[in-house]
Amino acid sequence: MIALFVLKLSAGITLMWCLMPRREVTDGFFRIQMRVVLGLAVLSTLLLADRGTWEIRQSTVIVEKDARPDLVISTGEDAIDSAAAVWRWLQRIQIGVACIAYVGSVFWTLGRRRPGRICIYLMTTGCCGSLLFHSVQVPTLSVWLQLLSDFSSAAVCGSILTGMLLGHWYLTTPAMSTRPLQWFIAAIVIAACLRLVCSATVLITAGIQIPGTTHGIWLAIRWFGTVFVPLLVAILVWRILRYQNTQSATGVLFAGLILVLMGEMSGALLERDLNIPY
């Protein structure tokens, strides 16, 4: 569960790097961002080294099978060995991402933007590829719904986290244009709308299969944290930036990030117990 969360976070951050207007952002921001993803890649490598993660997930699905009688999953040794092979491939990809992140931080430190951009593209390919590779291996309602769920969650977390870190960067470079930060407002709205479409589709397809009050609370936190909070944050930041107040906008993004992470972790708990990507 935590490994998947870290993969989503890495994929979301690197995807935002690819899409954002980098020309108006100074080199130092990307130097620090490379080191952030370097740490996430190392963490995910260590988490993926635990083969027991898959076995725990398998046993959880068995326990919850009464709640999901339509779920068919192989729990034999072949399935576990196959999952372990997936884990090893994900490990190798994340090791490669970590190495590229280190090299990229050196390029951005030296002000070499072109090779730095190449590192961004390679890291985005590795992180998004890892998330895609993981998503198609998860037994769920639909592969397409799982992909939409994972990438919309990654976009929500990545947009609001990178936007918040960019807002902090204005403390060291106050003369930098606010256009990149304004771009993140649109990115947050689009990501939240994708998350809304995914969650609504899952509810229509699978219904509300909530076995207890705890899961109901998790579902409420999931919707509030990853759909409504990002939209509210985007509106507040848009109004604040009309006055060029980047510090207040960063504070709003920081508060929103906490709620978004709470919503994402609640969704991860639901998916672990029910195998439904609410």
Cβ atoms within 10 Å, residue 197? 13
Are 167 and 206 within 8 A, CB to CB? Answer: no
**Residue 97, pLDDT score:** 97
**Residue 165, pLDDT score:** 97
Name the residue type at position 228.
F
**pLDDT tens profile 200-252:** 999 888 888 888 889 999 999 999 999 999 999 999 999 999 999 999 999 99
How many domains, the chain? 1
Mean pLDDT for all residues in the chain:
87
Cα 54 from chain centre: 20
State how far the Cα of 12 lies from the Cα of 152, in Å rounded to an integer: 9
State how far the Cα of 265 lies from the Cα of 11, in Å rounded to an integer: 16
Q: How far are the Cα atoms of 6, 99, 107 from residue 93, in angstroms, in the given order?
A: 14, 10, 21
**pLDDT tens profile 47-96:** 887 654 444 444 444 444 445 455 444 445 555 566 677 788 889 999 99
Q: Residue 188 belongs to what domain range?
A: 2-274
**Residue 82, pLDDT score:** 63
Secondary structure (DSSP) of the chain: -HHHHHHHHHHHHHHHHHHS-GGGS-HHHHHHHHHHHHHHHHHHHHHHT-THHHHHHHHHHHHGGGT-TT-----SHHHHHHHHHHHHHHHHHHHHHHHHHHHHHHHHHTT-HHHHHHHHHHHHHHHHHHHHHHHTTS-SS-HHHHHHHHHHHHHHHHHHHHHHHHHHHTTT-TTS-SHHHHHHHHHHHHHHHHHHHHHHHHHHHH-----SHHHHHHHHHHHIIIIIHHHHHHHHHHHHHTTT-HHHHHHHHHHHHHHHHHHHHHHHHHHHHH----
Stated pTM of the model: 0.88
Q: For the CA atoms of the chain, what is the radius of gyration?
A: 19
* Closest by CA position to 194, among listed 248, 155, 233: 155
**pLDDT tens profile 126-136:** 999 999 988 88
